[in-house]
């Protein structure tokens, strides 16, 4: 149950909606800016969950005539929008907290707030762990963003609950807005991390070094004196949502047949796709332009041509 990307996103929408209602009631009754900050944070998470839910459904659509590379980048757009919303929410929380410090507002019905924050932490812990498991399995940036939001909610809810307990025990009401500011700073950190992950694919940043290394090693196994190709170059990679795209030029011996080149390309594509999930490999074959007496699989120019 809730094991797919879409259903997991739906679970997040449901849990966030219930928690927002609880936090708003507790925040209004108690006058606690830290609880209201948590309600704003959860409202932001609800918007993020809705965006994730819609974007995942759209990103799952197959490639079509107008979108030959698919719709995967919708997830990256979703993650970037979520990050912007988080930045705005954190700014509002800090503004409200400073206002409470200036006006020396006091908090009431602390035990109600402590109880609701504790329930919120438990619910978000369960849901966030599930979302991150599904995100890892499905390689979904939108679902990962949602899971990260809820993970931060766990930390902030526990922090708010502990802070309210200290206020109850000590009577230092100024701790409430200070805790709210600390919550906002954690939210800003989450927004920054999410932006770093969601935005680069929108400008076609290459795959991580480890993933490019997998591609290079796969090709290099078939290059050189003992291989079937002379070399490779023009390696280009990028990512769109959970889809990875790999392009390269493969240099073959000038007297190799088209059939041999085709078989080698098919083999390389299957090999790379078996090591990189959701990979799409495009290989351009070109003849070696070196004039050699022996061109049959032991070209001495191989090492000079190999590489990106």
Residue 251: helix, strand or coil by DSSP? strand
The total of structural domains in the chain comes to 2
Q: pLDDT-derived band of residue 227, with 50, 70 and 90 as boundaries?
A: low
Q: Do 116 and 176 share a structural domain?
A: yes
Q: Report the alpha-carbon distance of residue 228 to residue 3 in Å, rounded.
A: 43
Q: Do 188 and 276 share a structural domain?
A: no
Q: Do 184 and 229 share a structural domain?
A: no
Please report the pLDDT score of residue 290 as a whole number: 66
CB contact burial 79-110 (16+ within 10 A = b; e otherwise): bbbbbebbbebbeebbebbeebbeeeeebeeb
Q: In CATH, what number is assigned to the domain containing residue 127?
A: 1.20.1510.10
Q: pLDDT-derived band of residue 2, with 50, 70 and 90 as boundaries?
A: low
Q: Do 248 and 152 share a structural domain?
A: no
Q: Do 92 and 231 share a structural domain?
A: no
Residues in CB range of 37: below 8 A, 6 or more apart: 93, 96, 97, 160, 180, 183, 184
> For residue 113, what are the domain limits?
5-202
Q: How far apart are the first and last CA of the chain?
A: 44
Q: Report the alpha-carbon distance of residue 99 to residue 169 in Å, rounded.
A: 24
Q: Do 160 and 29 share a structural domain?
A: yes
Task: Give the neighbor-by-neighbor strand order of the sheet with 231-240.
Answer: 231-240, 243-252, 279-287
Q: Do 109 and 18 share a structural domain?
A: yes
Query: Which tokens sit at 91?
Result: 């700014």
Q: Report the alpha-carbon distance of residue 24 to residue 40 in Å, rounded.
A: 9
Q: What is the mean pLDDT of the chain?
A: 77
Please report the pLDDT score of residue 8 as a whole number: 78
**What mean pLDDT comes out for the span 235-259?**
84
**What mean pLDDT comes out for the span 257-265?**
87
**What mean pLDDT comes out for the span 265-285?**
89
For 28-86, write each residue's pLDDT tens digit. Answer: 877 777 777 777 767 776 776 777 677 666 666 666 666 666 656 676 777 777 778 77
Q: Report the alpha-carbon distance of residue 181 to residue 215 in Å, rounded.
A: 45
Calculate ∠ Cα 225-227-231, nearest 5°: 80
Please report the pLDDT score of residue 234 as a whole number: 86
Residues in CB range of 25: below 8 A, 6 or more apart: 116
Contact in structure between 248 and 284 (CB atoms under 8 Å): yes
Q: Do 155 and 134 share a structural domain?
A: yes
CB contact burial 204-237 (16+ within 10 A = b; e otherwise): eeebeeebbebbbebbeebbbeebbbbbbeebeb
Calculate ∠ Cα 137-8-46, nearest 5°: 125
Phi-psi region of 55 (alpha: psi -120 to 50; beta: other; left: phi over 0): alpha
Domain end among 173, 202, 231: 202
Q: In CATH, what number is assigned to the domain containing residue 227?
A: 3.30.70.1350
φ and ψ at residue 101, rounded to 5 degrees: -65, -45
Please report the pLDDT score of residue 292 as a whole number: 57
Contact in structure between 187 and 214 (CB atoms under 8 Å): no
Please report the pLDDT score of residue 302 as a whole number: 44
């Amino acid at each position: 149950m809730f094991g797919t990307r879409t259903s997991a996103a739906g679970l997040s929408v449901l849990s966030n909606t219930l928690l927002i209602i609880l936090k708003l009631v507790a925040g209004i009754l108690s006058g606690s800016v830290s609880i209201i900050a948590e309600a704003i944070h959860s409202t932001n998470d609800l918007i993020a969950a809705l965006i994730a839910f819609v974007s995942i459904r759209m990103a799952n659509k197959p490639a079509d005539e107008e979108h030959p590379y698919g719709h995967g980048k919708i997830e990256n757009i979703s993650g970037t929008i979520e990050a912007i919303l988080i930045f705005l929410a954190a700014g509002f929380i800090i503004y409200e907290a400073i206002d409470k410090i200036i006006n020396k507002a006091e908090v009431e019905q602390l035990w109600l707030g402590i109880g609701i924050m504790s329930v919120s932490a438990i619910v978000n812990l369960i849901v966030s762990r599930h979302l991150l498991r599904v995100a890892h399995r499905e390689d979904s940036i939108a679902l990962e963003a949602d899971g990260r939001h809820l993970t931060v909610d766990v930390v902030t809810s526990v922090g708010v609950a502990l802070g309210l307990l200290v206020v109850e025990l000590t009577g230092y009401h100024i701790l409430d807005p200070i805790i709210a500011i600390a919550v906002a700073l954690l939210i800003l950190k989450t927004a920054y991390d999410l932006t770093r992950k969601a935005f680069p694919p929108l400008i076609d940043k290459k795959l991580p070094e480890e993933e490019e290394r997998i591609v290079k090693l796969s090709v290099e196994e078939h290059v050189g004196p003992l291989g079937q190709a002379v070399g490779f170059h023009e390696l280009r990679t990028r990512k769109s949502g959970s889809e990875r795209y790999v392009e390269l030029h493969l240099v073959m011996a000038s007297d190799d047949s088209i059939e041999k080149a085709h078989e080698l390309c098919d083999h390389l594509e299957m090999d790379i796709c078996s090591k990189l999930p959701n990979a799409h490999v495009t290989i351009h074959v070109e003849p070696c332009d070196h004039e050699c007496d022996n061109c049959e699989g032991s070209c001495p120019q191989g090492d000079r041509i190999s590489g990106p």
